[in-house]
Amino acid sequence: MNTISGNSTASAALLGSGLVVDDAITWTKGEVLGRGAYGTVYCGLTSRGQLIAVKQVSLDSFDPDAAKKEYSHLQGEVELLKTLRHANIVGFLGTSLFRHVVSIFMEYIPGGSIASILHRFGPLPERVLALYTHQILEGVAYLHLNRVIHRDLKGNNVMLMPTGVIKLIDFGCARRLSFLNHTASSSSGGGDLLKSVHGTPYWMAPEVINETGYGRKSDIWSVGCTVFEMATGKPPLAHMDKMAALFYIGARRGAMPSLPNGFSDHAKDFVQISLTCDQRLRPSADQLLKHPFIPPCA
């Protein structure tokens, strides 16, 4: 293990955890928690004895232009994370740049991802499914209220605390919309739609595949796919290869699969309306929070 120090660009107290990081974060690198297209996440132990998650990205030292572009991308992710404070969104602690390596310090979530929970325990019973879905929606509703769309919601990017609290992670694809407008599809040329393809095929909405714009409602489709994933162990159309699934969803000609028998009518309806092909008819996160599948707040 090696120790790296860096100056943090922000310091924050995490919601409900009591974890506070000073302007200088000194930490020791531990095991790899995950790898993705945008870097590697490690477990870290701070000089105060606190466990944190550290996302590290190595900038290309041989290509200044590429390094500048990557740094700008990371800067965008950090600027978003700095503004987000919610119980169902991973807490941001700060950043550092040391020898061409950018480190983003975040709250450590020891329960792992929902995808790993499904691998360990199998599909979730409906009661747990509803509890987790409620919290995912609370996080998504908060993002959308703050004009942020996640653009890569799936089981791998939904984390679980040992206490049963859900946290949304990985804002590498996220973007802030330019206009506060809850009907993202109201105009094809509006600033509320982003015309770029991001996400993972099995969780991608038709309008994303067809490049007709990505708005808040595209996150709702991904929520529906993630609920299906939690209920069955796999996302919709997982029996198809990626390209076949892309064509099927993009063509909008075939119905999306429904939850299997054994789930309540409320659960089936929740997934069905979340996977409405026309995003103008797809419900918002706030509307879904009032759906009878979602348990009332304790």
The domain ranges of the chain are: 27-107, 112-177+199-289
Q: What is the pLDDT of residue 197?
A: 54
Write the class of the CATH domain 27-107.
alpha beta
27-107 and 112-177+199-289 have identical folds: no
What residues form the annotated binding site?
Answer: 55
Amino acid at 94: G
CA distance 250 to 270: 21
Q: Tell me the average pLDDT across 242-254.
A: 88
Torsion of CA 21, 26, 31, 32, to 10 degrees: 70
From 23, 152, 170, 286, the catalytic residue: 152
State yes or no: pLDDT of 84 exceeds 70.
yes
Please give the annotated binding residues for ATP, written as ranges.
55
Contact 1, 70 (CB under 8 A): no
Lowest mean per-residue pLDDT among 71-85, 132-146, 263-277, 279-293: 71-85
152 counts as catalytic: yes
Residue 14: pLDDT over 70: no
Query: How far is residue 245's CA from residue 242's CA, in Å, rounded to a whole number?
Result: 5
Question: What average pLDDT does the chain have?
Answer: 85
User: What is the model's pTM?
Assistant: 0.86
Residue 243, classed as helix, strand or coil, is helix
The CATH classification of domain 112-177+199-289, taken from the options 3.40.50.170, 1.10.510.10, 3.40.50.300, 1.10.3720.10: 1.10.510.10
Top pLDDT among 185 and 138 is at 138
